[in-house]
Amino acid sequence: MSRRVALVTGASRGIGRACAIALAHRGLDVVVTARTVHPGDRFEYSSTLKRKAAKPLPGSLEETAAEVRALGVDALVVKLDLSVRDDWPAAIEATMQRFGRIDVLVNNGRYIGPGHMDPFEETPLELIETMFVCNVFAPLHLIKLCVPIMKRQGGGIVINVTSTAGDRETPAPIGKGGWGLGYSVTKAAFNRSVPGLAKELRPHRIAVIGLMPGFVATERMAIELGDFGFDAAKGLPVDNPGRVCAMLATATDPMVFSGRDIFGPTFHEDHANVRFS
């Protein structure tokens, strides 16, 4: 029988990469998706936003895939820019062509780019619209494409990487430890999708779980966000949410967690005695 298959968005680095590797450790084949296919890839943004190309960061899909394959399972690299609508169905089609199944969808990717930490008055509404496309519509579309596949298979798991930013506002000002409005409002919408979808999809044995990773020290946090008041030295390692993601994906009965937001920093300890396959 073929191995279970997970598709992870935003898997070139950070939490997405950690999720992909942790899933591979537990024996799943992994489809890794993001914009950065090759090391050093750069991206141009809409000219109307008047922003320069983003600075390359460490990490790429090719590197994540190599780490996954080193663990004895298969990896498929698929370029997926969440702001490009044609990429959404293409990623699902490529997965089905290669593996013929999708058991776990991890919606981790979100909009990252120039202006996402700017004050509201300095943020073009076009940028907030793009954030809604990337942070809300793209993952919902991926779920919609996966649901018929999972129903045919008798069930599946959707793990949405949520955020406390969608539930409460930071007292710190933007640029001094606070986040931009676009991130807050899009994460609020994304967070709310978990209980609603879980209710609808429960009869089909499709679990929809929110994973709140907490404050995690990603590569981007360490390299770029210090100027905005974020101290990566105080963050959790990316392995923490990665490990929790894999635990949820291999739970004996994932429906136990469906509709809930799981707080990553404490989940592993709290569920040390729960059996995972």
Q: Answer yes or no: is 277 within a domain.
A: no
Domain that holds residue 182: 5-270
Which residue in 183, 190, 230, 257 is the catalytic one?
A: 183
Number of domains in the chain: 1
* Nearest-5° Cα angle at 106, 103 to 112: 155
Active site (annotated) includes residue 183:
yes
Say what the pTM is: 0.89
CATH number at residue 117: 3.40.50.720
Rounded CA Rg of the chain:
18
Q: Answer yes or no: is 198 within a domain.
A: yes
Q: Answer yes or no: is 28 within a domain.
A: yes
Q: What is the pLDDT along the chain (277 residues), one digit of tens a residue?
A: 579 999 999 999 999 999 999 999 999 999 999 999 998 776 655 444 444 445 667 789 999 999 999 999 999 999 999 999 999 999 999 999 999 999 999 999 998 777 777 888 988 999 999 999 999 999 999 999 999 999 999 999 999 999 877 787 777 777 766 678 888 999 999 999 999 999 999 999 999 999 998 766 565 555 555 566 566 566 667 788 999 999 999 999 999 999 999 998 888 777 766 655 5
Residue reference for tokens 């609508």: 85
Q: Which residues contact 244 (CB under 8 A, 6 or more apart)?
A: 211, 213, 262, 264, 267, 268
Q: Answer yes or no: is 276 within a domain.
A: no
Q: Answer yes or no: is 71 within a domain.
A: yes
What is the rounded CA–CA span in Å between residue 266 and residue 36?
Answer: 31
Q: Answer yes or no: is 240 within a domain.
A: yes
